[in-house]
Amino acid sequence: MLKTCKTVILLIIKNIFIFAFVISGFSAVAYGDVLKDRVYASLGDRQLKLDIYTPENNKNPFLVVWIHGGAWHSGSKEDPPLQLLEKGYALASVEYRLSPEEKFPAPIHDIKAAIRFLRANAETYHYRADKIAIWGSSAGGHLAALVGVTNGHTKLEGNMGRYLDYDSSVQATVDYFGPTNFLSILAQSTPHGINVRAPALALLLGRPVDQVKELAELASPVAHVDKNDPPMLIMHGDQDYQVPINQSHELEGQFIKHGASARLVVVHGAGHSTPEFFTPEYIEIVDDFLKKSLGD
């Protein structure tokens, strides 16, 4: 018992140090302009907004679209990870309708509208329009992965925003520990994971998963993978008790099955949304993936 308590205390201390390091890294990031609250679509009086961060020393950067987490029912576009700005990327952090406001597929319709807006206004905001990457964590990882494997999908494209003639496709995807198969996640989960995930899924889909299986499949990235999907980087902690790591194994397996490009990086000792993912070691992996995927 004493040994177990000592191990837990050491793990807590380790994570405190990592968290402090990551936070200090956020504040030290140098960047150019920050353009807040750009309206990318409206629904009556409801305006959907995004923020754009541009790098300090790159006048023609690739754009990475950041999708926040929060179990689909919370979270915001504020305070995205900014480390990629120092690697020369621009970053857009996107607001989307949360599940208490609107059910699936609203968040995907919103994000695809945001990408169309960003592509249409690339010259105004000074980044490249030809190749766009998407990155998200947890519920945001799920949404990023779903966008990545549904380029041109009729049911998920939606008709939000003014730029319907523009392409909503992405050319690279980074999924941080996102759910990928709504039909299998609860069976794979710990009791804690079920207590967190089952209500969140029911709120997102409008009813419990077992009552809306067709919609749950539509919302599952694993159901959409094909050989034409852009490359995907997946990261997942092997101590994640909220989203089972088997979810990421399933997604990687579908990419392998269809001959598409995916890489799963297992972060040993990491839990759900723990700070390790944003340390220089793993940001370097993201940067290397994006460079290889987006090219020149």
Tokens representing 50 are 């995004």
What DSSP character marks residue 105?
A: T
Q: Exposed, middle or buried by CB within 10 Å (0-12, 13-18, 19+), for 167? A: middle
pLDDT above 90 (res 193) = no
Identify the H or E element spanning 16.
helix 2-28
User: What's the mean pLDDT in 267-290?
Assistant: 97
Bridge partners of 232, per DSSP, are: 173, 262
- On average, the pLDDT of the chain sits at 91
Q: Where is pLDDT greater, at 123 or 22?
A: 123
28-81 confidence digits (pLDDT tens): 566 778 999 999 999 999 999 999 999 998 989 999 999 999 999 999 999 999
Q: Any bridge partners for residue 175, and if so which?
A: 136, 234
Structural domains for the chain: 2-294 (3.40.50.1820)
pLDDT, tens digit (0-9, with 9 covering 90-100), for 98-146: 999 999 999 999 999 999 999 999 999 999 999 999 999 999 999 999 9
| Residue 249: exposure state from Cβ atoms within 10 A (0-12, 13-18, ≥19) | middle
Report residue 69 CA to chain centroid gap. Answer: 7
pLDDT digits (tens, 9 = 90+) for 147-174: 999 999 999 999 999 999 999 999 999 9
In contact, 80 and 68? CB cutoff 8 Å: yes
Query: Cis peptide before 100, with omega less than 30 degrees from 0?
Result: no
* The pLDDT value given to residue 9: 40
